Amino acid sequence: MNYTEGQDKDSKNQNMAGSVILSPDLKFIRDIKRLGGETVKKCYQCATCSGICPLSSENSPFPRKEMIMTQLGMKNELFRDSDIWYCHNCNDCSKLCPRGARPGDILGALRAKFIMENSVPRFLGKIVTNPSYTLFAFFIPAFLLFAILVSLGHLSIPDGKIVYSRLFPVESIDLFFSSFVAISLIMYIISLRRFWLRLRKEDNPQTERFGKALIQAVAEFLLHRKFSKCDVNSDRKNGHLMVFYGFVGLFITTSWVAFYYWFFHINTPISLGDPLKWVANTSALLLIIGTLILIANRLKDKNVNSRSSSFDWTFAIIVLLIGLTGLSTEIVRLINITDLAYPLYFIHLLFVFYIIVYFPYSKLAHFGYRLLAITFHKMAGTDVT
């Protein structure tokens, strides 16, 4: 076996005798350990994980093959492996692993590494996936929002009734966020296309099945059906559904507010009796409760031979904070605490920026990758139901 440092080409090479020489990427292995997969070397290929995982099949021993590929530093092969996006960290495999190798954590680290390296531009992937750069990630929107305040001359807290658009006019804030979201969406589409081309390079399923497969994948995705197959942390399905539909509801709310303003000239604050507020507050509560369920499960995971990476923790905490600060801005406005309301609103906008502008580089990125992976398997007829 030939070991190389930081190899960037395929790890399989044929020598003159026809035998296979494996050249592990040692930097890749160290990166996986740093991202939460430090137990990968404990795996001794007993196949317990594949035997217990409901997503494993006879022809694809998941996640056993991913464990040995990671041990061997087979980066390129793993980055063409759609199976790593099937796993949702139910931790059945981690609980029953006799060596404490925590396969669920390894797969989580692989996804984080993939998001980092497949990002466009890559430096943003490194900033968002590395918790050490979290403060810098927040500095970017803080600087930009402060620049807007300077340009508007809004450097003091407005007097009188609390109306957040007096600090950031709707036109300014809509242009700010819509511009960055559009750029992020373009970058995300490029990243997803890269992923899809990798999958098609590995195998070439019938393209005429794409439409039907995508519809089936979306239905499965919306219902989180595969979560029901997990035993150890089956309640994570409820947490994930709450967070998912909390985000969906908040997206609808944001679009609804824009529709009110641009078409009917209705400005915020919106009346509590308006259906928009019902959707907004319900969505915020779903986000908060769902995140608390997921955090509780992560704390419980330490009792099942598993732990969450700092990448996971950072995202979970930020999601919780965006829900809490969103509700808090409404509460302090209603009880008219002016000196607290506007600074809190500014902080809330930082979390909003992090979630919606950095989404191609955060945990949210897995939505698109997972959807394409499921679609690919359904096209190829290899989906495990």
Task: Please state the domain extents for the chain.
Answer: 12-118, 122-380
pLDDT at res. 233: 61
The fold of 12-118 is Fumarate Reductase Iron-sulfur Protein; Chain B, domain 2 (1.10.1060)
pLDDT tens track for 118-167: 999 999 998 998 888 999 999 999 999 999 999 999 999 998 899 999 99
**Separation CA 376–CA 383 (nearest Å):** 8
* Cα-based distances in Å from 192 to 115, 187, 199, 360, 373: 10, 9, 11, 9, 10
> Residues near 295 by Cβ (< 8 Å), separated by ≥ 6?
316, 320
Q: What is the pTM of this model?
A: 0.85
pLDDT per residue as tens digits for the range 12-27: 444 444 555 667 788 9
Tens digits of residue pLDDT in 200-222: 765 666 666 788 888 988 888 78
Domains 12-118 and 122-380 equal at CATH topology level? no
CATH topology of domain 122-380: Fumarate Reductase Cytochrome B subunit (1.20.950)
With CA atoms as reference, report the closest residue to 86 among 226, 202, 196.
226
pLDDT at 250 over 90: yes
In the block, which residue shows the tokens 């430090």? Answer: 38
